[in-house]
Amino acid sequence: MSRQGNRGTEGKKMNSELFTLTYGALVTQLCKDYENDEEVNKQLDKMGYNMGVRLIEDFLARSSVGRCHDFRETADVIAKVAFKMYLGITPSVTNWSPAGDEFSLILESNPLVDFVELPDNHSGLIYSNLLCGVLRGALEMVQMAVDVKFAQDTLRGDNVTEIRMKFIKRIEESIPVGDE
């Protein structure tokens, strides 16, 4: 069937520089439009969320990944399959919490920040915050409520870029009223 046909297709690729610069233009515009960095971060997260909600459909259709059985599997799929597919990079998964409900993605390179330098007057800006929104939105669509934030960022002088993900809860499918 058509689903079978899709399997394994990588999808079309494009030069990452146009993507990087386009994202830069967007962040620049947001910095002009909003009063402070905090608001820009929020807006980036919101746009990322909208992207994530749509991206998950694309992802599930393209990859033959089934349901993940635990958060560890989810982490692996995100790092090894999804990041590879959409950004062409493979972050490493580390720093698991003992309970297995929290981990970090370490990004060696981040296509969003090529060419980017943060000016001093935007020290509160989390430049790549879009990614947090994308992860949150995509996981929400597979019934996982997750908290995502940047713990470290090379743009802000840290040695690595680290995204911290924390599992909050499984979202129960609610049955609409009057629907059995």
Binding site for another protein (CB under 8 A): 10-19, 21-26, 28-29, 33, 47, 50-51, 54-55, 58, 85-88, 111, 115-117, 119-120, 130, 154, 157
Min separation Cβ 136 and another protein, Å: 15
Give the shortest CB-20-to-another protein separation in angstroms: 8
Can you tell me the distance from the alpha carbon of 48 to that of 54, in angstroms, rounded to the nearest whole number?
10
Looking at beta carbons only, is 65 or 116 nearer to another protein? 116
Amino acid (one-letter) located at 155? L
Q: How far is the CB of 116 from another protein (least distance, A)?
A: 7
Q: Which is nearer to another protein, 76 or 111 (CB)?
A: 111
Q: Which is nearer to another protein, 24 or 101 (CB)?
A: 24
Which backbone phi and psi does 163 adopt, to 5 degrees? -105, 125
Length of the chain: 180
Give whole-number Cα distances, 41 to 38, 88, 154, in Å: 5, 24, 17
Q: Give the residue with the Cβ less far from another protein, 26 or 166.
A: 26
Q: Which one-letter DSSP state was computed for residue 177?
A: T
By beta-carbon proximity to another protein, the closer residue of 21 and 106 is: 21
Is 56 in contact with 47 (CB distance < 8 Å)?
Answer: no
Least gap, CB of 35 to another protein (angstroms): 15
Cα–Cα distance for residue pair 51/15, rounded to 1 Å: 20
Contact 124, 177 (CB under 8 A): no
Task: For the CB of residue 69, give the shortest distance to another protein in the complex, in Å.
Answer: 26
CA distance 27 to 141: 26
